[in-house]
Amino acid sequence: MIRTLFSGDLPRSRLLSAMLLAVLVGLALAPFLFHGARSLNVAATICVFVVLVASYDLLLGYTGIVSFAHTMFYGIGAYGVGLALHGMGPSWWAILVGTAGALAVSLVLALIIGLFSLRVRAIFYAMITLAVAAAFAVVASQLSDLTGGEDGRTFKVPELLQPGFHLIDGEILGRAIDGKLITYYLVFFSALALFLLMLRIVNSPFGRVLQAIRENDFRAEALGYRTVIYRTLANCLGALIATLAGVLMALWLRYVGPKTMLSFEVMTDILLIVVIGGMGTIYGAVIGSALFILAQNYLQVLMAQASASLSGVPLLANLFHPDRWLLWLGVLFVLSVYFFPTGIVGRLRSKALARRAP
């Protein structure tokens, strides 16, 4: 049963299994385990990022495509739902229309970019996506009549998902069953389903072909696989799932804006998570996202303390300034590309493998 659910691709390391289980239980019971709006927000962000990063892993880790347009698709999803809800009022129809529209736009864009530039080398694709994504972000923030410009748009979600809505009176385990909770579980279960779907994809014959292309595209072509088509398909799949992640994020935040949805910082976050978590493992997305988002929210507190205690030393205090946390993650990123390119998950797996067969 569990084997089927995980598509035969089990964690294969006891420590990794424990970590995954901890993340899963933590996320599943987050509303009851941790109180306060902030921790629930952290949990929801982790859910969305697991999907977003795993869909990027599909490209980077499995197919060997470096794309910088992943936030663009994420943003399309978020804006699609956001603008539909803003324009059509809070109804389930609006969500449906917005999601469908966003998926269609993403698919067309991914196809065009893919067919246009995936024929040539990886570097070319990386540069083109970088340019297109930058242009898209500028356009989105400039078309302020439609998108609300830099301020973005806030909107209302259907009644069931509104924080003021109560499904039942009273509390369960000290928690009111309100719209926020329902939204959280909508995000959580969608994320879980999408994650398992991606696990299914990468462990299918299709996924094997992607890995073959990553390892040696010339040989894959020689074996009779049309690499361009497989690459484009992987690209479209990644884009569609990223779009869905954007939809979930928009529903959770009830807000869309260029800073949170389209900025290049989101792209660097995805890159950092995927590499530190482990490229080409899908599970890396879970571990990476959990660690990264937790660090983003709580590491800064630690760094503030370090900075305060070092306030006498001029440069060191700056090094530990809470805003400089990205510096340390950047260093970690560079080191992990060199020394453990398969990330945390790959490291744990190879250790487990070494122990099993001494």
Partner 1 sequence: MTTISHVAPQDAALPKVKVDVLPLLLVPLLALLMLPLVGSFPTWVTLTIAGLAMGMMVFMMASGLTLIFGLMDVLNFGHGAFVSVGAFTATLVLLPMKSWVEADSVLMNLSVLGLAILLAMLVTGLLGWAFERIIIRPVYGLHLKQILITMGGMIVAEQLIHVIWGAEQIPLQLPTTFRGAFIVGDAALEKYRLIAVGVGLTVFITMFLVLNRTKVGLLIRAGVENGEMVEALGYRIRRLFVGVFMAGSALAGLGGVMWGLYKETLTAAIGGEITVLVFIVIIIGGLGSVGGCFIGAMLVALVANYAGFLAPKVALVSDILLMVTVLLWRPQGLYPVAKR
Q: Which stretch binds partner 1 (CB under 8 A): 37-45, 148-156, 250-258, 332-340?
A: 332-340
Q: How far is the CB of 190 from partner 1 (least distance, A)?
A: 29
Q: How far apart are CA 235 and CA 165, in angstroms?
A: 39
Phi and psi based region of residue 72 (left: phi greater than 0; alpha: psi -120 to 50; beta: remaining): alpha
Binding residue (CB under 8 A) for partner 1 from 51, 59, 76, 132: 132
Amino acid at 180: K
Residue 172 binds partner 1 (CB under 8 A): no
Stretch that binds partner 1, among 129-137, 158-166, 181-189, 230-238 (CB under 8 A): 129-137
- 142 touches partner 1 by CB under 8 A: yes
From 161-169, 219-227, 291-299, 334-342, give the range in contact with partner 1 by CB under 8 A. Answer: 334-342
CB-count burial class (<10 Å; 0-12, 13-18, 19+) for 195: buried
The pair phi, psi for residue 341, each rounded to 5°, is -60, -15
Which residue lies nearer to partner 1 by CB, 49 or 68? 68
* Dist. CA 237–CA 55, nearest whole Å: 8
Q: Which two tokens stand for residue 38?
A: 């902030």
Give residues with Cβ within 8 angstroms of 324, minimum separation 6.
303, 318
- Shortest distance in whole angstroms from residue 199 CB to partner 1: 22
Neighbours of 237 (CB within 10 A): 21
107 binds partner 1 (CB under 8 A): no
Per rule CB under 8 A, is residue 324 in the interface with partner 1? yes
127: left (phi over 0), alpha (psi -120 to 50) or beta: alpha
Cβ atoms of 114 and 236 within 8 Å: the answer is yes
Contact status: 113 vs partner 1 (CB under 8 A): no
For residue 268, state whether it binds partner 1 (rule: CB under 8 A): yes
Specify the residue, 194 or 234, whose C-beta has the smaller distance to partner 1: 234
Interface positions with partner 1 (CB under 8 A): 60, 64, 66, 116, 121-124, 126-128, 130-132, 134-135, 138-139, 142, 264, 268, 271-272, 275, 315, 318-319, 321, 323-324, 326-327, 329-331, 333-334, 337-338, 341
